[in-house]
Amino acid sequence: MQDKLEFNYKKSLGQHFLKNPEIAKRIVDSLKLTTTDDVIFEIGPGSGIMTQFLLDKYPLLKIIELDREAIGLLKEKFTNIETKIIQGDILKINLIDYANKFSIIGNMPYNISGPLLFNALEYRNHLIEWVGMLQLEVVQRILSNPSNKTYGKLSVLLQAYFDIEQIIRLSPASFYPPPKVSSAVIRMVPKKEKIPKTNFEKFVKIVKLSFMHRRKTLRNNLKGLLDYDTLSDVFFSKRPEELSWEDFDEMIQKYFE
Protein backbone atom coordinates (compact mmCIF):
# COMPACT_ATOMS: atom_id res chain seq x y z
CA MET A 1 0.00 0.00 0.00
CA GLN A 2 1.13 3.50 -0.82
CA ASP A 3 1.22 5.40 2.48
CA LYS A 4 2.24 8.84 1.29
CA LEU A 5 2.50 10.78 -1.92
CA GLU A 6 5.53 12.20 -3.67
CA PHE A 7 4.01 15.70 -3.87
CA ASN A 8 1.77 17.99 -1.85
CA TYR A 9 -1.96 17.79 -2.39
CA LYS A 10 -3.90 20.92 -3.32
CA LYS A 11 -6.98 21.43 -1.17
CA SER A 12 -8.24 24.05 -3.62
CA LEU A 13 -8.40 21.37 -6.35
CA GLY A 14 -10.43 18.98 -4.21
CA GLN A 15 -7.65 16.40 -4.28
CA HIS A 16 -7.94 13.17 -2.29
CA PHE A 17 -5.60 10.46 -3.59
CA LEU A 18 -6.33 6.76 -3.57
CA LYS A 19 -3.64 4.81 -1.69
CA ASN A 20 -4.27 1.14 -2.50
CA PRO A 21 -3.11 -0.12 -5.95
CA GLU A 22 -5.36 -3.18 -5.68
CA ILE A 23 -8.42 -0.95 -5.42
CA ALA A 24 -7.12 1.19 -8.29
CA LYS A 25 -6.80 -1.92 -10.47
CA ARG A 26 -10.31 -3.02 -9.54
CA ILE A 27 -11.68 0.36 -10.65
CA VAL A 28 -9.80 0.17 -13.96
CA ASP A 29 -11.03 -3.39 -14.49
CA SER A 30 -14.62 -2.21 -14.04
CA LEU A 31 -14.37 -0.70 -17.53
CA LYS A 32 -16.10 -3.28 -19.71
CA LEU A 33 -14.69 -2.17 -23.04
CA THR A 34 -14.55 -4.83 -25.73
CA THR A 35 -11.48 -3.41 -27.46
CA THR A 36 -8.22 -1.82 -26.37
CA ASP A 37 -8.45 0.55 -29.36
CA ASP A 38 -10.95 2.81 -27.60
CA VAL A 39 -9.90 6.25 -26.42
CA ILE A 40 -9.93 6.62 -22.63
CA PHE A 41 -9.71 9.94 -20.80
CA GLU A 42 -8.42 9.72 -17.25
CA ILE A 43 -9.51 12.73 -15.20
CA GLY A 44 -7.20 13.96 -12.45
CA PRO A 45 -4.67 11.10 -12.27
CA GLY A 46 -2.81 12.64 -9.32
CA SER A 47 0.08 10.35 -8.43
CA GLY A 48 -0.82 7.93 -11.24
CA ILE A 49 -2.10 5.06 -9.13
CA MET A 50 -4.76 4.20 -11.73
CA THR A 51 -2.69 5.46 -14.65
CA GLN A 52 -0.26 2.56 -14.34
CA PHE A 53 -3.04 0.03 -15.00
CA LEU A 54 -4.67 2.10 -17.74
CA LEU A 55 -1.37 2.43 -19.63
CA ASP A 56 -0.99 -1.36 -19.62
CA LYS A 57 -4.42 -1.90 -21.20
CA TYR A 58 -5.26 1.12 -23.35
CA PRO A 59 -2.70 2.49 -25.84
CA LEU A 60 -4.98 5.43 -26.72
CA LEU A 61 -5.17 6.71 -23.14
CA LYS A 62 -5.34 10.48 -22.70
CA ILE A 63 -4.67 12.08 -19.30
CA ILE A 64 -6.28 15.35 -18.22
CA GLU A 65 -4.60 17.05 -15.26
CA LEU A 66 -4.72 20.64 -14.06
CA ASP A 67 -1.96 20.40 -11.42
CA ARG A 68 1.45 21.06 -12.99
CA GLU A 69 3.24 19.39 -10.06
CA ALA A 70 1.24 16.22 -10.63
CA ILE A 71 2.12 16.33 -14.33
CA GLY A 72 5.79 16.59 -13.47
CA LEU A 73 5.52 13.52 -11.26
CA LEU A 74 3.71 11.54 -13.97
CA LYS A 75 6.49 12.33 -16.45
CA GLU A 76 9.06 11.08 -13.95
CA LYS A 77 7.17 7.86 -13.20
CA PHE A 78 6.11 6.81 -16.70
CA THR A 79 8.15 6.77 -19.88
CA ASN A 80 6.75 8.25 -23.11
CA ILE A 81 3.71 9.65 -21.29
CA GLU A 82 4.16 13.29 -22.29
CA THR A 83 2.21 12.96 -25.55
CA LYS A 84 -0.75 11.54 -23.62
CA ILE A 85 -1.07 14.45 -21.19
CA ILE A 86 -3.56 17.29 -21.67
CA GLN A 87 -2.86 20.05 -19.17
CA GLY A 88 -5.97 21.98 -18.23
CA ASP A 89 -9.40 22.15 -16.62
CA ILE A 90 -11.65 19.26 -17.67
CA LEU A 91 -14.66 21.59 -17.60
CA LYS A 92 -13.02 23.88 -20.17
CA ILE A 93 -11.67 21.16 -22.49
CA ASN A 94 -13.79 19.88 -25.38
CA LEU A 95 -13.11 16.15 -25.47
CA ILE A 96 -14.66 15.88 -28.93
CA ASP A 97 -11.62 17.76 -30.22
CA TYR A 98 -9.61 14.63 -29.37
CA ALA A 99 -12.02 11.78 -30.15
CA ASN A 100 -15.58 11.26 -31.34
CA LYS A 101 -16.22 8.19 -29.17
CA PHE A 102 -14.52 7.70 -25.82
CA SER A 103 -14.74 6.58 -22.21
CA ILE A 104 -14.00 8.58 -19.07
CA ILE A 105 -12.50 7.29 -15.83
CA GLY A 106 -11.11 8.97 -12.76
CA ASN A 107 -11.03 9.73 -9.08
CA MET A 108 -13.13 12.83 -9.66
CA PRO A 109 -12.32 16.08 -7.84
CA TYR A 110 -15.10 16.24 -5.26
CA ASN A 111 -15.45 20.01 -5.48
CA ILE A 112 -16.64 19.82 -9.11
CA SER A 113 -18.52 16.49 -9.07
CA GLY A 114 -21.84 18.12 -10.02
CA PRO A 115 -20.48 19.92 -13.09
CA LEU A 116 -18.60 16.76 -14.12
CA LEU A 117 -21.82 14.74 -14.05
CA PHE A 118 -23.66 17.35 -16.13
CA ASN A 119 -20.61 17.26 -18.40
CA ALA A 120 -21.20 13.52 -18.84
CA LEU A 121 -24.79 14.26 -19.87
CA GLU A 122 -23.58 16.66 -22.54
CA TYR A 123 -21.24 13.96 -23.89
CA ARG A 124 -23.87 11.18 -23.74
CA ASN A 125 -23.85 10.61 -27.53
CA HIS A 126 -20.06 10.31 -27.57
CA LEU A 127 -19.53 8.33 -24.36
CA ILE A 128 -18.95 4.60 -24.28
CA GLU A 129 -18.59 4.35 -20.49
CA TRP A 130 -18.10 6.70 -17.52
CA VAL A 131 -16.43 5.29 -14.41
CA GLY A 132 -15.81 7.68 -11.55
CA MET A 133 -15.06 7.97 -7.86
CA LEU A 134 -17.45 10.37 -6.14
CA GLN A 135 -18.63 11.24 -2.65
CA LEU A 136 -20.96 8.51 -1.40
CA GLU A 137 -23.63 11.13 -0.78
CA VAL A 138 -23.55 12.13 -4.46
CA VAL A 139 -23.75 8.49 -5.56
CA GLN A 140 -26.73 7.94 -3.28
CA ARG A 141 -28.46 10.93 -4.87
CA ILE A 142 -27.75 9.61 -8.36
CA LEU A 143 -29.19 6.17 -7.57
CA SER A 144 -32.10 7.40 -5.44
CA ASN A 145 -35.73 6.57 -6.20
CA PRO A 146 -38.71 8.95 -6.30
CA SER A 147 -40.26 10.05 -3.00
CA ASN A 148 -36.89 9.74 -1.28
CA LYS A 149 -35.23 12.71 0.41
CA THR A 150 -32.03 12.14 -1.60
CA TYR A 151 -33.92 12.13 -4.92
CA GLY A 152 -33.38 15.20 -7.07
CA LYS A 153 -32.52 16.57 -10.50
CA LEU A 154 -29.30 14.54 -10.75
CA SER A 155 -31.29 11.36 -10.08
CA VAL A 156 -33.81 12.20 -12.80
CA LEU A 157 -31.39 13.35 -15.47
CA LEU A 158 -28.75 10.65 -15.10
CA GLN A 159 -31.25 7.81 -14.74
CA ALA A 160 -33.05 9.06 -17.85
CA TYR A 161 -29.98 8.77 -20.08
CA PHE A 162 -27.69 6.22 -18.41
CA ASP A 163 -27.72 2.72 -16.99
CA ILE A 164 -25.92 3.15 -13.66
CA GLU A 165 -24.38 0.76 -11.15
CA GLN A 166 -22.32 1.20 -8.00
CA ILE A 167 -19.01 -0.67 -8.24
CA ILE A 168 -17.32 -0.20 -4.87
CA ARG A 169 -17.69 1.79 -1.66
CA LEU A 170 -14.64 3.16 0.17
CA SER A 171 -13.99 4.65 3.60
CA PRO A 172 -12.02 7.89 4.11
CA ALA A 173 -9.02 5.79 5.19
CA SER A 174 -8.57 4.67 1.57
CA PHE A 175 -7.31 8.15 0.63
CA TYR A 176 -4.60 10.66 1.38
CA PRO A 177 -5.51 13.05 2.81
CA PRO A 178 -8.64 11.29 4.10
CA PRO A 179 -11.80 13.18 3.11
CA LYS A 180 -14.50 13.80 5.71
CA VAL A 181 -16.93 11.62 3.78
CA SER A 182 -17.13 8.08 2.41
CA SER A 183 -16.75 7.55 -1.33
CA ALA A 184 -18.07 5.23 -4.02
CA VAL A 185 -17.33 4.36 -7.63
CA ILE A 186 -20.10 4.21 -10.20
CA ARG A 187 -20.18 2.99 -13.78
CA MET A 188 -22.54 4.75 -16.21
CA VAL A 189 -23.31 3.55 -19.73
CA PRO A 190 -25.45 5.69 -22.08
CA LYS A 191 -28.75 4.04 -22.86
CA LYS A 192 -29.37 2.98 -26.43
CA GLU A 193 -33.14 2.90 -25.96
CA LYS A 194 -35.82 3.85 -23.43
CA ILE A 195 -34.72 7.44 -23.05
CA PRO A 196 -36.93 10.55 -22.92
CA LYS A 197 -38.86 11.28 -26.10
CA THR A 198 -38.63 14.95 -25.20
CA ASN A 199 -35.92 17.11 -26.74
CA PHE A 200 -32.83 16.88 -24.49
CA GLU A 201 -32.45 20.62 -23.87
CA LYS A 202 -36.12 21.00 -23.02
CA PHE A 203 -36.07 17.96 -20.74
CA VAL A 204 -33.06 19.28 -18.79
CA LYS A 205 -34.55 22.77 -18.54
CA ILE A 206 -37.92 21.62 -17.18
CA VAL A 207 -36.39 19.15 -14.72
CA LYS A 208 -34.03 21.81 -13.35
CA LEU A 209 -36.87 24.33 -13.01
CA SER A 210 -39.08 21.74 -11.34
CA PHE A 211 -36.47 21.20 -8.63
CA MET A 212 -35.66 24.88 -8.18
CA HIS A 213 -37.44 24.71 -4.81
CA ARG A 214 -37.70 21.01 -4.12
CA ARG A 215 -40.22 21.29 -1.29
CA LYS A 216 -42.61 23.40 -3.37
CA THR A 217 -45.14 21.98 -5.80
CA LEU A 218 -44.70 21.82 -9.54
CA ARG A 219 -47.35 24.53 -9.74
CA ASN A 220 -45.11 26.94 -7.85
CA ASN A 221 -41.89 26.03 -9.65
CA LEU A 222 -43.36 26.10 -13.17
CA LYS A 223 -45.87 28.93 -12.84
CA GLY A 224 -43.90 31.19 -15.17
CA LEU A 225 -44.11 28.70 -18.04
CA LEU A 226 -47.78 27.64 -18.12
CA ASP A 227 -51.11 29.44 -18.00
CA TYR A 228 -53.39 29.47 -14.96
CA ASP A 229 -55.89 26.96 -16.35
CA THR A 230 -53.18 24.41 -17.10
CA LEU A 231 -51.59 24.84 -13.69
CA SER A 232 -54.99 24.22 -12.09
CA ASP A 233 -54.67 20.58 -13.13
CA VAL A 234 -54.38 18.45 -9.98
CA PHE A 235 -51.18 16.98 -11.42
CA PHE A 236 -49.30 20.19 -10.58
CA SER A 237 -50.05 19.83 -6.88
CA LYS A 238 -47.33 17.18 -6.82
CA ARG A 239 -43.78 17.88 -5.69
CA PRO A 240 -40.95 17.21 -8.15
CA GLU A 241 -39.49 14.45 -5.97
CA GLU A 242 -42.65 12.39 -6.58
CA LEU A 243 -41.97 12.05 -10.32
CA SER A 244 -39.79 9.46 -12.04
CA TRP A 245 -37.92 10.46 -15.18
CA GLU A 246 -40.68 8.74 -17.19
CA ASP A 247 -43.24 10.92 -15.41
CA PHE A 248 -41.27 14.04 -16.27
CA ASP A 249 -41.07 12.95 -19.90
CA GLU A 250 -44.82 12.34 -20.03
CA MET A 251 -45.54 15.67 -18.32
CA ILE A 252 -43.36 17.64 -20.73
CA GLN A 253 -44.92 15.99 -23.78
CA LYS A 254 -48.43 16.64 -22.48
CA TYR A 255 -48.09 20.20 -21.21
CA PHE A 256 -45.05 21.72 -22.93
CA GLU A 257 -45.18 20.46 -26.51
- Would you list the DSSP string of 37-89? TSEEEEE--TTTTTHHHHHHH-TTEEEEE--HHHHHHHHHHSTT-GGGEEES-
Inter-residue contact 133 to 185 (CB < 8 Å): yes
Asked whether residue 231 is assigned to any structural domain, the reply reads yes
Asked whether residue 234 is assigned to any structural domain, the reply reads yes
Strand partners, 131: 105, 187
Instruction: Write down the pLDDT at residue 2.
Output: 40
Domain boundary among the residues 190, 209, 232 is at: 190
Asked whether residue 195 is assigned to any structural domain, the reply reads no
Assess whether 148 and 21 both reside in one domain: yes
- Confidence tier at 132 by pLDDT (50, 70, 90): very high
Range of lowest pLDDT (2-16, 17-31, 76-90, 112-126): 2-16
Assess whether 227 and 137 both reside in one domain: no
Q: Model's pTM, two decimal places? A: 0.91
Higher pLDDT, 35 or 256: 256
Instruction: Write down the pLDDT at residue 8.
Output: 55
137-144 average pLDDT score: 97
Assess whether 221 and 186 both reside in one domain: no
Assess whether 232 and 185 both reside in one domain: no
Assess whether 132 and 91 both reside in one domain: yes
Chain segment 161-216, per-residue pLDDT in tens: 999 999 999 999 998 877 788 999 999 999 999 999 999 999 999 999 999 998 89
Range of lowest pLDDT (1-15, 38-52, 150-164): 1-15
Domain boundary among the residues 152, 167, 190 is at: 190
* Position 96 pLDDT exceeds 80: yes
The CATH number of residue 210's host domain is 1.10.8.100
- Confidence tier at 15 by pLDDT (50, 70, 90): low
Assess whether 181 and 59 both reside in one domain: yes
Q: How far is CA 16 from CA 46, 85, 201, 242, 243, in A?
A: 9, 20, 33, 35, 35
Q: How many domains does the chain have?
A: 2
User: Rounded to the nearest 5 degrees, what angle is found at the Cα of 57, between the Cα atoms of 67 and 128?
Assistant: 80
Q: Which domain holds residue 47?
A: 11-190
Asked whether residue 5 is assigned to any structural domain, the reply reads no
- Confidence tier at 4 by pLDDT (50, 70, 90): very low
Assess whether 210 and 246 both reside in one domain: yes
Instruction: Write down the pLDDT at residue 12.
Output: 46
